[in-house]
Amino acid sequence: MTDRYAVIGRPINHTKSPLIHGLFAEVTDQDLAYSAIEGSLDDFAGDVRRFRDSGARGMNITAPFKLQAFELAEARSERATLAKASNALKFENGKIYAENFDGIGLLRDIEHNLKQPLAGRRVLVLGAGGAVRGAALPFLQAAPSRLVIVNRDVGKAQTLVAELNNPLLEVCSYEALAGQVFDVVINATSASLTGELPPIDAALFGQVQLAYELAYGKGLTPFLRLAQSAGVPLLADGVGMLVEQAAEAFAWWRGVRPETRPVIDRLTIPLV
């Protein structure tokens, strides 16, 4: 019998997940069907339970339901617990299990695909939302010399720092970035989704080797354009993260991790 999975979000018409998991199933010879579900804002839990009760095996979760998915689960991983959000659910042994692969997917894209190990490097992350919460623990495990989170709401970032209690993790305001030096800068704010630039200037990129934009498929966002003009040698958007986190979920569900490079190449839009 064909095993069924789905991604749920609202809106969901933009999702690449059915394509990605369909390609993964082909190359790993897995018998599965993967669909997209437009979630209900007032009955997300019902949507998930109905899909599970129909015999489905798991789901990916996208905006705006990641927090609700975490709350709905009966068993949660350390990554999901830290993020207080889940981007993947598994239905097994009568329980709903929650995971969060956003951070590990991002780290793998940076270190494996882009060949930019974070060990000993100074890393700046712009934003303190759910994606950053999911990435904080994997990033710290990669042993950077500094991991700095900057956010308009400094208190929000300080809460995350307090929870992790790691001396490598710092928080600061945008104003306090002046004069600081970094090797990697990651834009995890929502600014690029509306064609805006976070409150930074070109001086921030003085010694930066990688500028990474979590948004994907938007070409040169204002963040990447500023980094390019400042001479940053390597620019990347989040398409690799998207595929890598999907591969982690696929492996969690199916016990086999698919090759990601062909799928990344297929989905990549040139940064122009």
The Cβ of residue 220 has, within 10 Å, a number of other Cβ atoms equal to 17
Q: Would you call 129 helix, strand, or coil by DSSP?
A: coil
Query: Contact 207/181 with Cβ under 8 angstroms?
Result: yes
**Helices 17-28 and 239-254: crossing angle, nearest 10°?**
50
Active site residue 156: no
CB atoms under 10 Å from CB of 145, counted, come to: 12
Cα radius of gyration rounded to whole Å, the chain: 18
Given 66, 84, 95, 156, the catalytic residue: 66
- Cross-strand partners of 59: 6, 89
Helix (H) or strand (E) holding 265: helix 261-267
E-only strand ranges, the chain = 3-9, 32-38, 58-61, 75-76, 88-92, 95-99, 122-126, 146-150, 169-172, 184-187, 210-213, 234-236
Q: Are 61 and 8 in contact (CB under 8 A)?
A: yes
**In the numeric block, which tokens belong to residue 118?**
């974070």
Best CA proximity match to 21, nearest among 38, 9, 37, 4: 4
Distance CA 198, CA 215 (A): 13
The answer to whether the CB of 227 falls within 8 A of the CB of 251 is no
Catalytic residues: 66
